[in-house]
Structure 1
Amino acid sequence: MKLYTYESGGILVLYKAANGLVNKLVKKGIIEAGECELYCFGIETSILKGLHLLSYVILGLLLGKIPELILFLIVFIPLREYSGGYHAASKLGCYIVSCMVVLSMLLTVRFIPAAYYNVSIYLAMFSGAILLFLVPVEAKTKPLDDSEKTYYKSKAGFTIVLLLILSLFLFMVNQRLLSFILALSLFYELIAAVIGKLSLITGKHGEGY
């Protein structure tokens, strides 16, 4: 008999796993019943992040691009966190979209001719310049107040400028592949930011009618 039901709105198997584990902890007196929602959310989020990472590693192994995957995640995750942009409506949608982003990056690095790495600095400058004007891009489900916007804009701006400098440096020392990966991270975030902005604009227009 379940003691608590956590309505996550996420992936069913994760919801069941988190709900079942928390109920066991409550029965054993390890946590209080009033803390169930917090623990369920934390457990489900941790499992989902682990699933994301495992899926990325599998994709990296299949395409033989683990070092490139690691570099992309190191730079893209903080860039995405501070810059914001498009967010899927569900956790399943988020998982699918994030896997598609990682897969497309790996396929691009795997199959694009090395000669095209020379465009990395132009791609980075183009993406970074536009991002500096757009960020932070808030989501419909997570609006930002003025202090949060100031905080995220400063963090995002620093991250973008740092990536631009690193991409230029790597380009100059003839590490074109690494420079290209940094440029791709900026470009993918630019796409997320633009889609996020458009979603906010169309949403506001829809509310006006």
Structure 2
Amino acid sequence: MQLSKGLQEDDKDIYLFGVYQGAILLLNICTALLIGVALNMLLEIVIYLICFLPLRIFAGGYHAKTQLRCYIMSSFTTVIILLGIQFLQQQESIWEFLSYIVSFGIIWRFAPVADANKPLLEKEHVIYQKKVRKVLLLLTGIAALTYFLGFNIISTVIEVSVCFLSVILLMGIYKNKVHCNNIEELECNK
């Protein structure tokens, strides 16, 4: 039975899921923007979202078990990220560069990291790996260019985005390893 032009009754759940996921993403983005406004760092949070979201979508990593936990953790980490950006804008050290290089290497080597909530087929793994590497290279180029041009706010935000994503990947790898050690699944060894 057709619901409306082009929509099948069988596809109703798929469309509802898509709308629900879109609403959750929109809520997370709006909350991040509100946190940015509250901390007087709207520009920083906008740049962060532009840099981080494409990496996160393709790289995967740790995912919370519930939407509520995800929302709370995202809100909390947004505050931490913005405070980290604020701190790093007042500093310049070789440690920032070294942490970026290490984080870049972690993402390059391990992304994408699947999760029980977000499993990946082998074909998806290959496609996402190529995409995350392209985004990572693009962001690295932008970070280098903006640093040398004196737009340190952009390079700092990119640095924090990449470092945070590497932590999320390592958490995902750890979670997967613990999960596989706790249950007997052949798929864990893939």
| TM-score > 0.5, shorter chain as reference | yes
SS of the residue 1:161 aligns to: helix
- Select 1:46's aligned residue among 22, 27, 38: 22
Q: Distance in 2 between matches of 1:113 and 1:56?
A: 19
How far 1:165 sits from its partner (Å)?
2.0
1:1-209 pair list within 5 angstroms: 34-110=10-86, 112=87, 114-118=89-93, 119-208=95-184
Q: Which residue in the other structure is 2:188 paired with?
A: none
Q: Which residue in the other structure is 1:16 paired with?
A: none
Select the structure with the greater relative contact order (CA < 8 A; seq sep ≥ 6): 2
Identity %: 22
**Aligned-partner residue type, residue 146 of structure 2:** L
Compared CA separation, residues 32 and 155, structure 1 to 2 (3 A): closer
How far 1:35 sits from its partner (Å)?
4.7
**Aligned-partner residue type, residue 125 of structure 1:** I
**Cα deviation digits, residues 3-50 of structure 1 (max 9, x gap):** xxxxxxxxxxxxxxxxxxxxxxx8xx8987655423432332232222
How far 1:131 sits from its partner (Å)?
1.2
Question: What stretches of structure 2 of length at least 5 have no aligned partner?
Answer: 186-190
Q: Distance in 2 between matches of 1:120 and 1:172?
A: 15
The number of residues matched between the two structures is 181
Q: Distance in 2 between matches of 1:195 and 1:113?
A: 23
**Cα deviation digits, residues 94-128 of structure 1 (max 9, x gap):** 11111122111112223x16442445433322210
Contact 2:84 2:160 in 1 (8 A): no
Compared CA separation, residues 164 and 35, structure 1 to 2 (3 A): closer
**Aligned-partner residue type, residue 156 of structure 1:** V
Compared CA separation, residues 113 and 147, structure 1 to 2 (3 A): closer
Question: What stretches of structure 1 of length at least 5 have no aligned partner?
Answer: 1-25
SS of the residue 2:27 aligns to: helix
Contact 1:121 1:180 in 2 (8 A): no
**Aligned-partner residue type, residue 116 of structure 1:** Q
Q: Distance in 1 between matches of 2:184 and 2:19?
A: 39
Q: Distance in 2 between matches of 1:165 and 1:181?
A: 13
Q: Distance in 1 between matches of 2:13 and 2:183?
A: 32
Contact 2:85 2:160 in 1 (8 A): no
TM, length-normalised to structure 2: 0.85
How far 1:159 sits from its partner (Å)?
1.3
Q: Distance in 1 between matches of 2:141 and 2:88?
A: 24
**Aligned-partner residue type, residue 131 of structure 2:** K
